[in-house]
Amino acid sequence: MPAADEVDQWLRTADIAAASAETNTLSKLDIAETDTLMLFYSDTPEGRFCAERLQVFYESRLRETSLERIGKLGYGAAHFTSGLKALVDAAIRKVHRAREQGMLTVFCATGGFKAEIAFLNLMGALLEIEVVYIHELHRELVRLPRLPLTWDAEFVARHKDFFRWIDAEPRNSAEVESWLRSRPELRPLVEDGGDGNTYLSAAGNLLYKVAEERLSLGPRAVWPSPDPKPPQEKNHVSKVEHHRPTGWERFVERLCAIDCVASVRYDPQALGARVHVIDGAMGIIGVCFGDPGKGLPLRVETTARDEAQTELVAGYLQALK
């Protein structure tokens, strides 16, 4: 590998869309100075080197950057399950902390280990977290939207005693068998470790950790009630003189046509990320239409009346073009 300072210097003037998959993805994501970046890296010298270079590049551009090594996530197949478990555990911890701090999580699925990225995609779907990705031949960011999936997290709640018991420490296979005889539905979620113990499989660990997080969130957010005004009465943008990127009229009309939108108006205070929550309790969302830094800042007032509802609407607005 090259010298670290040479790479750091090269990145400062490189085309970030061509430099790496990570910089390419983040350049299209409109990250702002108020955002936090967590870089997971594999348990390999190359993974650590690349993650450290990315941290140096972004640490002056964002509020916070940090690294986390995923133990046993490497090139060999011997520790494949352990690596997947470590990735899931680390991601869940960061998602939980972000939610406690009122932050919205986005997964950038750009890693080279395809099976592990597939697990992050599944985790995003189950926890309603947006996953973004860009292929080296793509110009546009691919967004895998937060999916309102219905799944049986209560399965984990019903067997919480077993999951916590087997996850606490290595358990002798004979002891595990005594549980499984009366709960055969748990068999697909465990595997023999070859050391006399039986463990949660990678799938079992994912189900357990994701369900615990899902159940801690309370009831799923529902789409807000409609605003009774016709779309044309919601549009307060055209009455104000300001810079207007090409296509702004159609975009504003599209916003006003959404049932839960109460009003759309020009507001320079709405500048920031392309879509961001301004006031979750009052359902107010900032939307910037156009190129980053030159876009039309819009204040979108909705009928949402809590953080979860507002984030649900914001996720929908993210996909509008």
68-82: pLDDT as tens digits: 998 877 665 556 678
81 and 157, same domain (yes or no): no
pLDDT at 55: 97
Across the range 22-29, mean pLDDT stands at 87
111 and 189, same domain (yes or no): no
45 and 65, same domain (yes or no): yes
- Total of domains in the chain: 3
Enclosing domain of residue 113: 4-144
pLDDT at 1 > cutoff 80: yes
Q: Is residue 225 part of a domain?
A: no
pLDDT at 143: 79
pLDDT at 242: 59
Walk across the sheet containing 275-279 and list its strands.
261-266, 296-302, 284-289, 275-279
Instruction: Compare 111 and 264 and report the one with higher pLDDT.
Output: 264
Q: pLDDT category, 243, cuts 50, 70, 90?
A: low
265 and 304, same domain (yes or no): yes
| Dihedral angle of Cα 66, 69, 70, 74, to the nearest 10 degrees | 130
Tokens 């463990």 belong to 199
Across the range 119-138, mean pLDDT stands at 81
Distance CA 47, CA 40 (A): 9
What percentage of residues in the chain have a pLDDT greater than 70? 92
- Report pLDDT digits (tens) over 83-98: 888 889 999 999 999 9
pLDDT at 282: 95
184, 217, 250 — which closes off a domain? 217
pLDDT at 271: 82
Across the range 19-36, mean pLDDT stands at 87
Taking all residues of the chain, what is their mean pLDDT, rounded to a whole number? 87
Q: Is residue 223 part of a domain?
A: no
Q: pLDDT category, 18, cuts 50, 70, 90?
A: confident
pLDDT at 307: 87
Q: Which of 213, 221, 226 is nearest to 308 (CA)?
A: 221
Across the range 183-201, mean pLDDT stands at 93
At CB < 8 A and 24+ separation, what contacts does 120-125 make? 120/87, 120/91, 122/206, 123/88, 123/91, 123/92, 123/206, 123/210, 125/149
Radius of gyration of the chain (CA): 23
Instruction: Compare 97 and 243 and report the one with higher pLDDT.
Output: 97
pLDDT at 142 > cutoff 60: yes
Q: In this structure, are residues 138 and 144 in contact, taking their beta carbons and an 8 Å threshold?
A: no
122 and 169, same domain (yes or no): no
